[in-house]
Amino acid sequence: MIDAAILAAIEARIVRATALPPSGWRRFEAAGTALGVVDDARAARLAGFGCFDVTPDAVVLDSGLAAPDTRSAAIADVAATLRREGALPAWRDELYAVAPAFDAPVLFRIERGAARYFGVRTYAAHVNGIVHVGDETRMWIARRSPHKAVDPGLLDNLVGGGIAAAMRVDETVAKEAWEEAGIDATRAGAARPVGVVHAVRTMFDGLQRETLYVHDLALPPTFVPRNQDGEAVEHRLVSLDEAARIVATSGGDDEATLDASLVILDYLVRHGAIRPDQPRYAALVGLLRPSFGVT
């Protein structure tokens, strides 16, 4: 059972990380559908492009762009200009599908590094790497490369990555498991889907509104992660108490990404390390699935 002081620190840290300004936001719409959230400064820049109608309440993509391909092409041109201006420093050369829901028809595709500029909802797959040693449960934690554009050097889940356009959740798990931890497809296929958490926060390039598909993967005590793509530079196997302390940490070498913190917190709740009769339980659970709306 996690100490009450650690629970209070977890709550305070996540509340700070996810705090949004109460005003200054506008809907981003395309094809008659609300898809994102744009702040006033970015709305003013988008007003300079001919493909948007910018009002006090919304940024609307030209309704004359009637097909996914034409919408995608227009957004790609805008993103290329914003990149040249330095507004999209996390460019990935990877496309995300934009739709009102994960399984809904795609309305357009957008460069991954531009998704937060428009505040569109994105999706990722994360995996808790779990080792059972006797009666103790331990969790693998990774450290992100200091060269990553987003959250450089922070601690992370063993496996996690964005779901690219046309990719399934399980395909993303298999791809990221190999690249980030050297887990082969057979072992990755044993990852158990256990639900979702939502991450909402302002960032240097816009608003993150992301659904994380959470998985648990039991690993043998002899397993040692081996990163394949250079995006993780360290791995450590920690107790659940230590995992909770990491989630509570703000600043320094033991700070974790917001995404990883939510996924770890979800695990601690689901597996009884944080119990309903403990202080702040309901508040902590509420932080796992905040509303995607911004008032």
pLDDT value at position 102? 96
The pLDDT value given to residue 295: 37
Q: How far is CA 220 from CA 137, 153, 174, 179, 230, in A?
A: 12, 27, 18, 19, 24
Q: For residues 246 and 101, state if they share a domain.
A: no
3-state secondary structure of 117: helix
| Domain endpoint, select from 118, 134, 155 | 118
CA atoms of 99 and 97, how far apart (whole Å)? 7
Q: Which stretch of DSSP H or E encloses residue 247?
A: helix 240-248
Amino acid at 269: V
Indicate whether 45 and 165 sit together in one domain: no
Report how far residue 191's alpha carbon sits from residue 287's, in angstroms, rounded to the nearest whole number.
Answer: 24
Phi, psi of 27 (to 5 degrees): -65, 145
Same domain, 214 and 181: yes
CA–CA separation, 256 vs 234, rounded Å? 13
Residue 293: inside a domain: no
Q: Which residue has the tokens 């097909």?
A: 67
Quote the domain boundaries for residue 99.
25-118
Q: Are 106 and 131 in a shared domain?
A: no
CA–CA separation, 266 and 128 (whole Å): 10
- How far, in Å, CA of 154 to CA of 151, rounded? 6
Following CA atoms 282, 256, 219, 161 in sequence, which dihedral angle do they give, to the nearest 10 degrees? 100
User: What is the CATH number for 58?
Assistant: 3.30.750.160
Residues of 34-70 as b/e, b for ≥16 C-beta within 10 angstroms? ebbbbbeebbebbeebebbebeeeebbbeeebeebee
Residues with Cβ within 8 Å of residue 216, at least 6 apart in sequence: 127, 128, 130, 191, 192, 194, 267
Map residue 165 onto helix, strand or coil: coil
Same domain, 106 and 200: no
Contact 246, 236 (CB under 8 A): no
Query: CB of 249 within 8 A of CB of 13?
Result: yes
Of the candidates 36, 78, 82, 74, the one whose C-alpha atom is nearest the C-alpha of residue 58 is 36
The tokens of 178 are what? 């190999």
85 and 181 belong to one structural domain: no
Residue 292 lies in a domain: no
| 142 part of a folded domain | yes
Q: Supply the pLDDT for residue 294.
A: 53
Query: Tens place of pLDDT for every residue, the chain, 295 residues?
Result: 899 999 999 999 999 999 998 889 999 999 999 999 999 999 999 999 999 999 999 999 999 999 999 999 999 999 999 999 999 999 999 999 999 999 999 999 999 999 999 999 999 999 999 999 999 999 999 999 999 999 999 999 999 999 999 999 999 999 999 999 999 999 999 999 999 999 999 999 999 999 999 999 999 999 999 999 999 999 999 999 999 999 999 999 999 999 999 999 999 999 999 999 998 999 999 999 988 765 3
**Number of folded domains in the chain?**
2
**Contact indicator for 274, 175 with CB cutoff of 8 Å:** no
How many CB atoms neighbour CB 134 within 10 A? 6
Q: Are residues 85 and 228 in the same domain?
A: no
